[in-house]
Each structure stands twice: as C-alpha cells, then as structure tokens.
Amino acid sequence: MINFILAIWVLSFCFVGALLTHAVVQFTNNILKNENKNRQDTLHHSPTYSPIRPKPMPNKETGFTVRSIR
C-alpha cells in the first residue's frame, strides 16, 4: 500500500515538473519571438536599411551567373 502511494506521489511530482518545464519553455520561446520581431521592425525602419541586394557576380570558371534556389 505504501509503495502504491509512493508511486502515485512520484508520478504526480514528475507530471508537475513536466508542466512547469513546458510553461518555462513556452514563455522563453515567446520572448525570443517578440525580440526577433522587434529587431526586424527596427531594421526595416532604420535609415541605413536598403532592400536592394547586390547583383550576383558571374562565376570565374564558367562566366555564368549562378543564382541560389530558395
């Protein structure tokens, strides 16, 4: 009987620990997403930001311009 109560106590302790860990991970993930969003917003509105990308240079060996597939 004592083993059964002890097993239930350990399982509930692990469950509460998993819930707390999940909450902390979600909270920090949300903070990181907000910081990244704010950084992108400030980047777009900064005076030095330029959306124009430089033209790709031709390959030295073949002479053809290689573009990366995105």
List, run by run, the mean pLDDT of 10-residue segments along the chain (70 residues): 92 95 92 71 58 67 61
Contact 65, 57 (CB under 8 A): yes
Q: Is residue 65 part of a domain?
A: no
Q: Is residue 8 part of a domain?
A: yes
Q: Is residue 68 part of a domain?
A: no
Q: Which structural domain range is residue 9 located in?
A: 1-40
What pLDDT sits at residue 30? Answer: 85
Q: Is residue 35 part of a domain?
A: yes
What pLDDT sits at residue 32? Answer: 78
Q: Is residue 17 part of a domain?
A: yes
How far is residue 68's CA from residue 65's CA, in Å, rounded to a whole number? 10
Structural domains counted in the chain: 1
Q: Is residue 54 part of a domain?
A: no
What pLDDT sits at residue 31? Answer: 82
What pLDDT sits at residue 44? Answer: 58
Q: Is residue 12 part of a domain?
A: yes
